[in-house]
Structure 1
Amino acid sequence: MLRQIAPEVFQIPLMPRNSINCYIIEGVLVDSGIRSSYTTIKKVLREVPVYQHVLTHAHADHQGCSDQICADLSIPLLCHPNEVFRTETGMVTNDYPTPQHWVARLQQKYWAGQGHKVDRTIVENDEIGNFRVIETPGHSAGHISLFREQDGVLIIGDAAVNMNLLTTAIGLHLPPNIFTSDQQQNIKSLQKLAQLNPSVICFGHGPVMRNTDGEFEQFLTRFSSAI
């Protein structure tokens, strides 16, 4: 259930085949899956305690049980200023290109958690322990990634996914357009992340990737004309 990825970095796979993940980094819970992920996460947090909770972005498969976890543990919730509305209201699909799409409506009804008050907002170059906040808008307006310089660990949220979300086959993809507010801006954010030369990439969807042969950078070359 709990996998150590690097010193003080743990992956919590919340669905089969790593199709939804959250992470603990240096005592901070990053994302919280869907509403029904609560039991799994709560069990893990008995083993690895956390003192605060950060959202990469406030979509239904990332904020699903944030309210329950933060209320239960009395820990603060942090996100980017552009994610505050969705985080506090629980209206998590309002920035989708087509919020009325049936998939979006199902996510809102069955996956999304209640809103929860944001205790602090975080922006570019703020620090979460030894991780630096990188603003990576595109998938959502206030999407962030987290990067630890000393060993190259990158928490990428949904800026990219490491699986086909329909077939669950492993491989790098852009996040689906249906859930992405601005794909061109998202590609620019990915190019920004590639310049960090990450060595380990932790995705919201798909297995963790050891980027030893520059696979991530190679993936992005196919989108260079889009910038």
Structure 2
Amino acid sequence: MKNNYMPITSEISNTGLAVAPDVYMYTTQIANLYMLGNPAKHKDWIIVDTGMPGTLERVKHAMNQRFGSNIGPKAIILTHAHFDHVGNLHQLIKGWEEDVPVYAHTLELPHLTGEEDYPKADPGADKGLVAKMSPAFSREAVDISDHVHPLPEDGSIPFFPEWTWYHTPGHTKGHVSLFREKDRILLAGDAFVTVKQESLYKVMAQEPELSGPPKYLTENWSDAEASVKKLAGLDPETALTGHGRMMEGEDLRSRLRDLSDHFVEKAVPKKEKN
């Protein structure tokens, strides 16, 4: 994979946050992954996304700390397959008593079977330094053909029926977000994020700011807008995203409504508006 390691680290890198007894957020450099499962009740758990390349040892240490040594996840769920979400995918499939199945939307599968690379990043989408660096990011498809499966068509999450997945395209064709109705926790992936991901300073400082999907890798802005409106309609209490800090309560809802109502103005690159 091109550019396996990125010398960008945020101030919350290598830290974890128990959002709920069965929801744990772990930050790898500038990208978050999530462990779902309550270690106090049982050892079954799943992981949502796998973090940045080059962070495997710290990720496995966090997993072992939470669930016990060498107790692997029942499944890996991918919101999408960009490099910063599949950075440890190959290694986390294996190395346990049994190989771990991976689930993604059917439209994301070509990027997980080696068939289709992602489109080129657009460094002109924003003036921020991360946007300018984006052509160096890997866009190559990974090939886990023997382990990947389409998510169930009924919206359910394997092994964790309290959660529902929603198709939230725009950032990628097969992007999905996860939602749990009972406590209104939303795992939004990169459908929207809680940091201005194009800005190197804001990424490193993790300054909270509810933003649209990262501009430099978003494929379809009309779909992205529809996805933000769909997620705002869920009225989440807590939002956990692929990049940035947790947001919750009325602060989250007001910011998300504002983004939904003014998406073109706030999220879409200027050249896409013309």
TM-score range, shorter chain: 0.7 to 0.9
Candidates 19, 24, 35, aligned match of 2:35: 24
Instruction: Give matches, 1:52-201, under 5 Å.
Output: 52-73=75-96, 74-89=99-114, 92=117, 94-96=118-120, 103-108=133-138, 114-117=142-145, 118-122=147-151, 125-128=154-157, 129=160, 130-165=162-197, 166=199, 167-168=201-202, 169-201=207-239
CA drift at 1:178: 1.8
Cα deviation digits, residues 73-97 of structure 1 (max 9, x gap): 31111111111111222965x2346
Alignment: residue pair count: 219
Contact kept? 1:124, 1:135, Cα under 8 Å: no
Please tell me whether Structure 1 or Structure 2 has the larger radius of gyration of its CA atoms.
2
Q: Which amino acid aligns with 1:218?
A: D
Structure 1 distance, partners of 2:150, 2:216, is: 27
Q: Any idea what SS the aligned residue of 2:95 has? A: helix
> Structure 1 170/10 Cα, relative in aligned 2: closer, same or farther at 3 Å?
same
* Alignment partner, residue 9 of structure 2: none
| SS class of match (1:68) | helix
* Structure ranking higher in strand proportion: 1
Q: Is the 8 A contact 2:28 2:51 kept in 1?
A: yes
CA contact (8 A) 1:30 1:54 kept: yes
Q: Over the residues paired in the alignment, what is the CA RMSD in angstroms?
A: 2.5
- Cα distance in 2 between the residues matched to 1:134 and 1:114: 23
| Greater displacement, 34-43 / 113-122 | 113-122
Matches of 1:199 and 1:84 in 2, distance apart? Answer: 31
Residue 27 of structure 2 contacts residue 51 of structure 2 at CA under 8 Å; is this kept in 1?
Answer: no
- Alignment-mate amino acid for residue 75 of structure 1: V
Instruction: For 1:67, give the aligned amino acid.
Output: H
SS in 1 for 2:250: coil
Secondary structure in structure 2 of the residue aligned to 1:181: coil
TM-score scaled to structure 2, two decimals?
0.72
Question: Which residue of 255, 258, 262 corresponds with 1:222?
Answer: 262
- Deviation of 1:139 (Å): 0.3
Higher mean C-alpha displacement, 171-180 vs 123-132 = 123-132
CA positional deviation for 1:116: 1.7
> Does the 8 Å CA contact 2:48/2:79 hold for their aligned counterparts?
yes
